[in-house]
Amino acid sequence: MKLSSYQKEFLSTEIKYGIREIEGTIKERKRQKKAKEIDWCESTFTYIIDRKKEEIQDLKNLANYFNLDINNY
C-alpha cells in the first residue's frame, strides 16, 4: 500500500505518540507497584508489562510495514 506524504507523517506521529503513551503506562505501573498502590501478584504484573511491550512492538512493526522512520522520537 502506498501512502501519501501527509499520510506517512500522520501515521508516524500517531505511532510515536502511541509508543510514548504505552511507555508512560509501563513506567506508571512500575511506580505504582513499587509504592504499593496496586496489589498485583508478580505474574499478573509481568503479564501486563509484557503485553504493553508487545503493543509497542506491534506499532513498530506497523511502522516498518509502511517504511516509516520513527526511530527519532
Q: Give residue 50's pLDDT.
A: 93
Nearest to 56 by CA among 31, 27, 33, 35: 27
pLDDT in tens, 21-41: 999 999 998 998 899 888 878
- 56: pLDDT strictly greater than 50: yes
Instruction: Write out the DSSP string of 4-20.
Output: -HHHHHHHHHHHHHHHH
- 73: pLDDT strictly greater than 50: no
Looking at the chain, how many residues does it have? 73
| Mean pLDDT value of segment 60-69 | 90
Mean pLDDT of the chain: 88
Q: Collapsing DSSP states into helix, strand and coil, what is residue 39?
A: coil
* Site of grid cell 509481568: 46
